[in-house]
Chain A
């Protein structure tokens, strides 16, 4: 697991700008969606991966726990599948031919690499969404934002891999498209602790909230309880 390190200056800057260390501790569980970014074999299984991120396997238990808590408290889970898109010129035009071939093989619909990692517990009521860019929220990439709004979700929890690439781009765009956005510190995986922490710190200081799995489950359960009692 990554050694998560959010320095004190970052926490201080958040408190100065927002008045609290966790602006989204008051999230509404019924309007919350867990976004699981690219936890596919193509990033997690050595012999099929075009871009192996060994740390991704280690976040699986936290993602499963969080998914169960989100469903239990009335929210939705969306499994994002990164998918080969031939017309993405800036992705492919300058890549080495053997890298291109490997990525196409790994990220094409129907391939082993494209499938969600088998230990992740997907349920029939979850959404499965294909995306064609790094970010899941650009309209050019997927219909995720439209589907989330239709489902009444205004808060997104970002988990998956790679922290500073697809997860951070998704989180940045989600926030700019007006979703309350929380990156899960021990639910994302990068190639190094350095990249993981740089991404989290940058996101936390300016873009949105960062919480760990236990803290987040606490918020979901605490905020769901009064609503259940009132119902």
Chain B
């Protein structure tokens, strides 16, 4: 698991900006979507990996716990699958064209639908009520990537919890774009995985200082349950 220590400058800047440590602590569980980014074999099992991130395996229990609470409190879980196929050679020529032929072939082989690399890691507990979304860019929210923003809006979700891998690549890009598309966005500090503690923390610090909220799994579960309890008390 990553060693998580929010730098003081990020805490100071977040407080100066918002006056309190957790701007989204009053989240509405029924309007909350858990976004699980790219927890696929291609990032978690070395022999089919396009980018092997060992810590990704370590966050699986937190993601499963969070998914169960999100469902129980009225939200929904969206499993995002990073996808590269032959269409990507033109639609995202920028990325595939920049890679060496060997790296490019690895992407086309291990992130293609139907491949073992493309499958979600086996110990993640996917339920029939969840949704599975393919994305074709790092961010799940940018133009051309997926229909995730449309699906979320159509179903009334305005708050997104970002988990998955890689913290500073697909997760951060998804989180930044989600916030700019007006979703209340929370990055889960112990529900994301990067290649190093340093990269993980650089992302969380920048995101927390300006873009949105950062919480750990336990605190987030507490907030979801408190939100659901308050609703029950009011009804």
Contacts and interface: CB of A to CB of B under 8 A. Distances in A.
Contact of B142 (A93, A173, A181, A199): A173
Contacts of A208: 98
A135 B177 contact: yes
B143 A177 contact: yes
Interface string B121-160: 0000000000000000111001111000000000000000
A176 B142 contact: yes
A5 B183 CA distance: 34
A88 interface: yes
B189 interface: no
Nearest to A20: B100
Interface in B169-211: 169, 173, 176-177, 179-185, 199, 202-203, 206, 210-211
B93 interface: yes
B163 interface: no
B219 interface: no
A23 B94 CA distance: 11
A17 B103 contact: yes
Interface residues of B, number: 42
Interface stretch (A53-61, A122-130, A137-145): A137-145
A164 interface: yes
B180 A169 contact: yes
Interface-central residue, B19, B98, B211, by most chain A CB under 10 Å: B98
B17 interface: yes
A172 interface: yes
Interface in B1-35: 9, 16-19, 23-24
Given A23-B98, A180-B94, A172 B103 contact: no
A164 B211 CA distance: 11
Given A94-B24, A134-B176, A198-B202, A177 B19 contact: no
Contact of A206 (B16, B23, B169, B177): B169
Interface string A169-185: 10011011111110000
Contact of A172 (B139, B181, B183, B206): B139
Given A23-B98, A178-B93, A90 B142 contact: no
Interface-central residue, B93, B99, B182, by most chain A CB under 10 Å: B182
Contact of B94 (A94, A95, A179, A202): A179
Grouping DSSP codes into helix (H, G, I), strand (E, B) and loop, the B interface class, with mixed when no group exceeds half, is helix
Given A90-B179, A138-B177, A173 B139 contact: yes
A90 B182 contact: yes
Contacts of B203: 202
A192 interface: yes
Nearest to B15: A96
B165 interface: no
Contacts of A199: 206
Contact of A135 (B144, B145, B176, B202): B176
B142 A138 contact: yes
Interface string B90-132: 0111110011100100000000000000000000000000000
Interface of A: 16-19, 23, 87-91, 93-96, 99, 133-135, 138-141, 164-165, 169, 172-173, 175-181, 192, 195, 198-199, 202, 206-208
Q: Which 10 A/B pairs are nearest by Cβ-Cβ distance?
A: A94-B23, A198-B202, A176-B137, A133-B180, A178-B94, A19-B100, A96-B19, A176-B142, A94-B18, A23-B98
22 contacts: A18-B98, A18-B103, A90-B179, A90-B212, A94-B18, A95-B17, A96-B17, A134-B211, A138-B142, A138-B180, A140-B180, A172-B173, A172-B176, A173-B142, A175-B94, A176-B142, A180-B94, A198-B199, A202-B169, A202-B199, A206-B138, A207-B138
Given A176-B92, A176-B94, 14 more contacts: A17-B103, A18-B100, A89-B184, A90-B183, A94-B24, A99-B16, A99-B17, A133-B180, A135-B176, A138-B143, A138-B180, A172-B138, A176-B142, A195-B206
